[in-house]
Amino acid sequence: MASSILTKSICDAMRRIAPPVLAGSWDNIGLILESPVKNASAAANRVLLTIDITPAVCDEAIASGASMIVSYHPPIFRGLKSLTLGNPLQGTLLRCAAAGISVYSPHSALDGVFGGINEWLTTCIGGDVEQQIALKWKTESWSLGGDGRRVTFDPPISMEVLVGRIKKNLSLSQVQVGYSPVKPDRLVSSVAICAGSGGSVFSEMDKPADVWFTGELSHHEILAAVAAGTHVILCKLSLFWSRLYIYDFKLSGNAFAGGHTNTERGYLPTLATKLKAELAAAAESDLGNVDIVISQSDAHPLEFA
């Protein structure tokens, strides 16, 4: 059975926007779910952009008649031995398949590509951008992008100014800040940036930075950073984005602090623009007009109580 024209076109466009070669070896990107069902909705050429596929996002996609979801985070990371309705998140995928909705996930490839999420985060703080902060650039992909970004300031700016820019440009009411006692003047000449959880990228930097700016870090990563003379900025919950969703998940060994998706969600309008441009440039005669919309149900899973 051949892929639908829409599914093939979106997959091709997303591979141009976020080349798979840039994805981490640990990641699971690409076409995650391909529905064999033909969507008969009048809005069948609708594509929904989201950070995560939650039950609420699934409901929204089905109600809107979408045929495709581009979910930044892949709904499947590791091999599954079964897909059942008893697991709520697996159930969302089964419901998508039954409704004729396919799913593509770009994740870390979209982080690292030039013009991707990490580069977008540099615009939130200003300064001069250095593309490479880590040693993990692949020889076959160096011209496309790489892990993380490093921003420098000359003259230095204060932590207060840096924090203010991040809160303003990410629409956050608060962020979490770890001040290093090793640098009591709190002046910043360099910032290492990584969307999501940046600990593994920061650990392989080829030169240090005054600040690590990311979504979340483990408790021990934070302790090690501030002890070594690095301030830490993690994106706490925004009152604007804050809603409560219940997830079926298991905790891993480390508890994480911060607001992982608050470094990612604001990029979705940029992704929508890029995807529209790619589809227009491809000009598939049989595709027709594609309606690309950003999910209104997608939100950070935690709130303050």
Please state the φ and ψ torsions of residue 124, each to the nearest 5 degrees: -80, -15
Residue 50 · residue 62 · CB < 8 Å: no
The C-alpha atoms of residue 157 and residue 155 are separated, in whole angstroms, by: 7
With b meaning 16 or more CB within 10 Å and e meaning fewer, what string describes 277-305? ebbeeeeeeebeebebbebebbbbbeeee
Q: Is 154 annotated as a binding residue?
A: no
The C-alpha atoms of residue 177 and residue 159 are separated, in whole angstroms, by: 9
Q: Which residues contact 64 (CB under 8 A, 6 or more apart)?
A: 43, 46, 48, 293
Q: Is 260 annotated as a binding residue?
A: no
Residue 274 · residue 119 · CB < 8 Å: no
Residue numbers belonging to the annotated binding site = 73, 111
In the annotated binding site for a divalent metal cation, the residues are: 73, 111
